[in-house]
Amino acid sequence: MSSEPVRDVPARGRPGFGVAAGAGGGADTGAGAGPLVGVDAGRLRPAWAEVDLDAIRHNAAVLAEEAAPAQLCAVVKAGGYGHGAVPAARAALEGGASRLAVALVEEGRELREAGIDAPVLLLSEPTPAAMAEVVSLGLTPAIYTPAGLEAVVAAVRAVDTGAPFPVHVKVDTGMHRVGATPEEAVALAEAVSRHPELELEGVWTHFAVSEEIGNPYTARQLAFFEDTLARLAAVGVRPALRHAANSAAALWIPQSRYDMVRCGIALYGLAPDAGATSRPPADRLRRALAIKARVTYVKEVTAGERLSYGLRYRLQRDSVIATVPLGYADGVTRGLSAVGGEVLVAGRRCPIAGTVTMDQLLVDCGPGAVVARGDEVVLLGRSGDEEITAWEWAQRTGTIAYEVVCGISGRVPRVYPDAL
């Protein structure tokens, strides 16, 4: 049980709202609701994530244009940041990406099984036990340990790849998560070059604070990376792909683009920082994800009543309360209502009323609101002139937009309207 204080919440009147005839009946599950229409037709639970693949194509084109002549590598890990890895990957490639990146071997396998044959970079060094599958799938591993190098050599020697197998050496320039030190990276790269069955295709690093424009730590990381590249060149090692830029660096730090940029969050139309949404060229990106549902139950609740678990939301006036079939098991943060979370009903902002439960949440539609079962509710996305963004959720709940979109669970079906 959470410890949010009880809140007295005035039911806000909204012009044009009035109680819909027959709106209050039906079971708690929404049984007996009117027929579903549009992209959710046939869904047993009227809730879905709507993904605009054309927006992803557009964003890839914007990023590829900004990065040129560097290549665009589209990061589609974590299920394409919640958008669906395979559809997102295909849209990104159609929009101008030439390469893809994932975190896990399993994620790379999903792309290959879907018939995607573009180069796929693994952003973390696979375990030795996984390296045989990496080679058989034609994935490109990051390596940063001698054990990783030994594993990939053994896996390549066990099969006839027909050509040197590409690897990328990762350098830790200050993120301190994974990666070889600059000195270790030079030794590792030299070792790769001594194996004829391998190709040192890339050397790369990752920034810690690139979304903080002007933070001197990024310049420090770039200096370490440049020093590493100079040491490699001094011993005759010149990889084809030098890469450092994530979304923020690709957008705003031109000197970091090198031969390739790796864009994740920007590919999906979200700026890497809440305050950067209107900063060019991020202002050209289009958000690709919307979370929608249909009202499953409506009732009028009298003034003074308290709602949901903990009874922490108290009505000051009679109000129309709508039940929406999405909850924290779907990625809607449990305490969102305690920090002013809202949804859109017919283009109007309405507060989430009380604690978000596992499978459902309540919406305070206001006194005399016209709302009925089957009406569309937008949790993330646009309705009329209003929009709720992942960064809005993130700022209310003290996190980042990345976590919001990646947190939309697999229970929520992804639909692709422009693919229908």
416 labelled catalytic: no
Cβ–Cβ < 8 Å for 324, 361: yes
Cα–Cα distance for residue pair 284/279, rounded to 1 Å = 9
Say how far residue 249 (Cα) sits from the centre of its chain: 18
Cβ–Cβ < 8 Å for 93, 57: no
Handedness of CA 413, 417, 419, 420 (dihedral sign): positive
Could you count the other beta carbons within 10 Å of the beta carbon of residue 223?
A: 12
Cα–Cα distance for residue pair 326/319, rounded to 1 Å = 21
Q: Which candidate in 77, 81, 268, 313 is catalytic?
A: 77
Q: Which of 28, 27, 25, 16 is nearest to 300 (CA)?
A: 25
What is the token pair recorded at 52? 């605009």
How many residues does the structure list for the chain? 420
Cβ–Cβ < 8 Å for 141, 148: yes
Q: Which candidate in 217, 292, 299, 309 is catalytic?
A: 309
Q: Where are the alpha helices (DSSP H) in 199-269?
A: 216-234, 247-252
292 labelled catalytic: no
What is the token pair recorded at 290? 């919307």
State phi, psi for 42 to the nearest 5 degrees.
85, -5
| CA distance to 73, 74, 110, per residue, from 98 (Å) | 6, 8, 18
Could you count the other beta carbons within 10 Å of the beta carbon of residue 298?
A: 24
The catalytic residues are: 77, 309
